């Protein structure tokens, strides 16, 4: 952990901590601690200091700061060991792909306060306004077959559901394969991209976009998109939500790595409103219709087609057929 991350982590402890204590724990002088605290204050961290009470963290700014995210996250197995924050980028998935090529260790997480070319599935644009959401990507290298990559999307979806519920009290639904909805409107999406060699995944990039504090959407999105702020009526703490998602995902990633996907699939099916519904799935030019029956061990959907066959679908654009 960097010095700032260690300071912020200590300041999150319930009791105030003195300059002498911080200096001893971190191994730098009290003057150096004071200088770091001054810099954190300039970034918007409200840190109270009293001669006899020590330092106390009063409030934090609505910015994503790598050291703060590290301090909030605490120790994880893989995800978030390295966190990098950009003010602006084209797409965090692009940055993660570049880091993958450079051989950066798995678990690195790239956040951007805004994206100029945020992308969704099927080549769609993903609106990513500054400081209004969480736009981030995680680089992973699980030793799994390419067919199992959907497991990571499933893990990201369940992690998002748990984190959103714990941070806002709202239980979102999952729409197969990668949408998180509240009252039928999309609040978050997942874009999983991978490079693979014949039988083994090389790099997986899990890109996650959460509409956190967006107040209003462009007219064309108003009927289908929402934000946590619109749903709760209050500004949601973005860094706290980000840390919660990463913590949940780190736990589930460990399960996937040891081949333990069963429980996760069950949890996913419980939260997934697509299962049990009659759906149409667009697969390029082809549209298949049927009943979404279940999720298999690799994360694919098992669809009972209108002709009675069981078809295994690994991706596509789903719409629920209300009148079928």
E-strand ranges in 104-183 read 108-115, 133-140, 173-175, 179-182
Q: Is 190 in the site for ligand BTN (CB under 6 A)?
A: yes
185 binds ligand BTN per the rule CB under 6 A: no
* Piece of the chain touching ligand BTN by CB under 6 A; list 17-25, 114-122, 149-157, 294-302: 114-122
- Looking at beta carbons only, is 6 or 150 nearer to ligand BTN? 150
Of 61, 120, 129, 146, the one binding ligand BTN (CB under 6 A) is 120
Looking at beta carbons, which residue is closest to ligand BTN?
189
> Does 55 participate in binding ligand BTN (rule CB under 6 A)?
no
Task: Read off the tokens for 307.
Answer: 């002709």
Nearer to ligand BTN, 34 or 120 (CB): 120
DSSP SS3 for 281: strand
- Our finding on whether 226 is near ligand BTN (CB under 6 A) is no
When binding is defined by CB under 6 A, the residue of 18, 70, 76, 137 that contacts ligand BTN is 137
Is 92 a binding residue for ligand BTN by CB under 6 A? The answer is yes
- Torsion angle in degrees (nearest 10) through CA of 49, 51, 53, 54: 50
Q: Contact at 8 Å (CB) between 33 and 22?
A: yes
Q: What minimum distance in Å lies between the beta carbon of 280 and ligand BTN?
A: 18
Q: In 10 A of CB 18, how many CB atoms?
A: 18
Q: How many other CB atoms are found less than 10 A from the CB of residue 50?
A: 10
Sign (positive or negative) of CA dihedral 238, 241, 243, 245: negative
Nearest distance from C-beta of residue 317 to ligand BTN, angstroms: 10
Q: CB count, 10 Å around CB of 130? A: 12
Contact range with ligand BTN by CB under 6 A, out of 78-86, 113-121, 253-261, 291-299: 113-121
Nearer to ligand BTN, 34 or 86 (CB): 86
Considering only the stretches 161-169, 187-195, 286-294, 296-304, report the one whose residues sit in contact with ligand BTN under the rule CB under 6 A: 187-195
Cis, bond preceding 140 (omega within 30 deg of 0) = no
Nearest to 315 by CA among 173, 191, 223: 191
Is 253 an interacting residue with respect to ligand BTN (CB under 6 A)?
no
**Does 121 help bind ligand BTN (rule: CB under 6 A)?**
yes
**Phi and psi at residue 210, in whole multiples of 5°?**
-125, 125
Among 177, 189, 299, 315, binds ligand BTN (CB under 6 A): 189
DSSP string, 34-60: HHHHHHHHHTT-EEEEETTTEEEEEE-
Question: Which stretch, 31-39, 66-74, 120-128, 156-164, contacts ligand BTN (CB under 6 A)?
Answer: 120-128
Strand partners, 317: 282
Interaction site with ligand BTN (CB under 6 A): 91-93, 115, 118-121, 124, 126, 128, 135-137, 178-179, 189-191, 207-209
């Amino acid at each position: 952990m960097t010095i700032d991350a260690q300071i912020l982590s200590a300041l999150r402890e319930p009791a105030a901590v003195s300059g002498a204590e911080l200096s001893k724990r971190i191994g730098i002088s009290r003057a150096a601690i004071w200088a770091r605290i001054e810099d954190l204050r300039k970034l918007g961290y409200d840190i109270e200091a009293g001669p006899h009470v020590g330092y106390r963290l009063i409030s934090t700014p609505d910015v994503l700061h790598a050291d703060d995210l590290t301090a909030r996250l605490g120790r994880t197995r893989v995800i978030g060991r390295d966190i990098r924050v950009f003010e602006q980028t084209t797409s965090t998935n692009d940055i993660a792909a570049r880091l993958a090529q450079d051989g950066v260790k798995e678990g690195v997480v790239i956040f951007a306060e805004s994206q100029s070319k945020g992308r969704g599935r099927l080549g769609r644009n993903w609106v990513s306004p500054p400081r209004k959401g969480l736009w981030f990507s995680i680089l992973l290298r699980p030793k799994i077959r390419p067919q199992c990559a959907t497991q990571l999307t499933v893990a990201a979806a369940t992690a998002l559901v748990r984190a959103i519920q714990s941070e806002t009290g709202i239980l979102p639904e999952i729409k197969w394969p990668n949408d998180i909805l509240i009252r039928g409107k999309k609040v978050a999406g997942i874009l999983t991209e991978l490079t693979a060699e014949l039988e083994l995944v090389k790099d997986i990039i899990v890109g996650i976009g959460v509409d956190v504090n967006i107040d209003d959407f462009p007219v064309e999105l108003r009927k289908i998109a929402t934000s946590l702020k619109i749903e709760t009526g209050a500004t949601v703490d973005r860094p706290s939500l980000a840390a919660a998602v990463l913590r949940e995902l780190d736990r589930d990633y460990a399960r996937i790595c040891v081949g333990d996907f069963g429980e996760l699939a069950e949890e996913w099916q419980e939260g997934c409103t697509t299962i049990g519904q009659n759906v149409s799935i667009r697969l390029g030019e082809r549209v298949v219709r049927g009943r979404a029956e279940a999720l298999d061990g690799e994360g694919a959907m098992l669809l009972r087609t209108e002709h009675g066959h069981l078809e295994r679908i690994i991706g596509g654009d789903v719409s629920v057929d209300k009148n079928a």
